[in-house]
A and B are shown apart, each in its own frame.
Chain A
Amino acid sequence: MAKVKEIAVVASQTRLGDDVYSMWIKTEEIAAQAEPGQFVDLYTKDGAKLLPRPISICETDKKKGLLRLVYRVVGEGTEEFSHYREGDSVEVMGPLGNGFPLEAGGKGKKAFLIGGGIGIPPMLELAKHLPCEKQVVLGYRDALFLNEEFHPYGDTYIATEDGSTGTKGNVLDAIRENGLKGDVIFACGPTPMLKALKAYAFENEMECYLSLEEKMACGIGACLACVCKSKSVDEHSMVHNKRICKDGPVFKAEEVEF
């Protein structure tokens, strides 16, 4: 099976707080193929907004053919999505990109699952699939969302920028304050966080996988909008660029330069 673009039906939509929404959509073909760390493109109904919005997959229910998308309202496109209700339709393409390498979190390993802000949602499906011991570290500006849903999968540590919950500061402050140790990092979040985690992984000799984000157009590797700097010459581009949508969004930390 290949990626598909189809009309999905909204199964439910709830507000998780502030500008964060959780939407389950019924899209059997995409749900059947989806792997942790992949994303989908959602299209607005307003033709004046041309480009799809890439949104990470938070959870997959393959039996029911459902995908859960947890997203933040940041502009008019995501604002439109937030008004969808059960039974509404939404055009979706996916699954897109490559997910997290599950084999890197095999039994006997100890992993950090780190999510920052709207990078938290994809870590939930990953948490369900990694057989290793998991320590979940979540970074927020202030209000929390999704954090309790991680509890079944491992010890969860919180950092907030305003100090309202857990460690005051960022995810690395939480790791240090709690004296956490591990072998491998899986992370998704803002670029400064990923950059800091890459350095931390190097200093602590940890394996590290990062999920990156960039403005995208096609979502399938043709337009070359969403590139990141790569350490080596990429065989597709022949320059130091990788495509986040097609070669990523998950990269081994050593592969990418910030």
Chain B
Amino acid sequence: MNTKVNLAGVELKNPVMTASGTFGSGEEYSEMIDLNHLGAVVTKGVANVPWPGNPTPRIAETYGGMINAIGLQNPGMEVFIKRDIPFLKKYDTKIIVNVCGKTTEDYIEVVERLADEPVDMLEINISCPNVKEGGIAFGQDPKAVEAITREVKRYAKQPVIMKLSPNVTDIGVMAKAAEAGGADVLSLINTLTGMKIDINRRTFAVANKTGGLSGPAIKPIAVRMVYQAANAVKLPIIGMGGIMNAEDAMEFILAGATAVSVGTANFRNPYAAEEVVKGIEDYMKKYHVEDIRELIGAVR
């Protein structure tokens, strides 16, 4: 039985990874799960300098989901390189670094700095709804998506994943823009912009007023967008958005995702990503599927 998948020349032992921002750099979860079992660990966003993030409260629970406005707090690339890469190198899993920035130059600074580090792939976060500059501002304009993809590709030594925003009218247009800019892989979806009102305190539930909605509440939207993007471009796609278990992951794979990311589920079940790996194998056994690649985009 083959569970290996190939993303722009990078072979993953299985298609399961962690969604950026939900897993740190894996250290905290390594106390509870074996990172060796994962296809890849996708790190929390790394910027050129440390970012303090947004004021608290930064999260709120919603029905079948949660809203976060962490604001990409991160220790900056130098600490990341010194501390987090050596930690992840101890494990037999691919390292995908999520890169965030406020300007094109910020992204490039991180990409250039990581060029000679033992990092397997770069995921460019142009879709965070919680930062004013950079983030979503890039991800909602196809011209900007194409331009930043092209710029990043000029400097990147590793394959480049462009992480797309669902907060757009036509995801196919955005996917094509990233492809035109030279992206190697796409990942989608990032969170949907949401809001929750605390009716007892009569205020916003998160200090930033709006935040990114994630969790099973957004899964049908994510599956639809992965399907649309897969039909719009030839690039491999990493699907994510509300994957809680292997059945959810299979929906994304059948819709056209080559790999999947487990995000918010980690908060409810620290073993979720490992369980998805096992559950996909069980699914393949149940339906006598020899190679996972037979399932990618099998529903047309």
Interface residues in chain A, defined as those with a beta carbon under 8 Å from any beta carbon in chain B: 2-5, 43, 47-52, 93, 214-228, 236-241, 246
Contacts and interface: CB of A to CB of B under 8 A. Distances in A.
A98 to B, nearest CB: 14
B279 interface: no
A50 B268 contact: yes
A227 B31 contact: no
Interface in B155-176: none
8 contacts: A47-B64, A50-B66, A93-B270, A214-B56, A222-B24, A222-B29, A226-B56, A238-B79
A5 B32 contact: yes
A214 B57 contact: yes
A52 B268 CA distance: 6
Contacts of A228: 56
A5 B52 contact: no
A222 B58 contact: no
B91 to A, nearest CB: 16
Nearest to B270: A5
B152 to A, nearest CB: 24
A239 B56 contact: no
Contact of A221 (B21, B24, B79, B216): B24
A43 B270 CA distance: 12
Provide the main secondary structure of the chain B interface: loop
Given A50-B268, A238-B50, A239-B51, A217 B59 contact: yes
Contact of B61 (A49, A93, A219): A49
Contacts of A47: 64, 216, 244
Determine the interface band of chain B, counting residues with CB < 8 A from chain A.
35 or more
B268 A43 contact: yes
Interface in B113-157: none
A4 B79 CA distance: 29
A215 B57 contact: yes
Residue among A237, A238, A241, A246 with the highest chain B CB neighbour number at 10 A: A238
A214 B44 CA distance: 21
Residue among B23, B70, B73 with the highest chain A CB neighbour number at 10 A: B73
A227 B22 CA distance: 15
A125 B52 CA distance: 35
B268 A215 contact: no
B263 to A, nearest CB: 10
Given A3-B31, A5-B32, A50-B268, A223 B70 contact: yes
B60 A221 contact: no
Given A47-B216, A220-B28, A227 B264 contact: no
Given A238-B76, A239-B52, A222 B28 contact: yes
A222 B73 contact: no
B28 A218 contact: yes
Shortest 4 CB-CB contacts between residues of A and residues of B: A238-B75, A222-B24, A238-B50, A239-B52
A237 B75 contact: yes
Given A5-B271, A239-B50, A220 B22 contact: no
Contacts of B52: 237, 239-241
B53 A224 contact: yes
Nearest to B23: A222
A237 B66 CA distance: 23
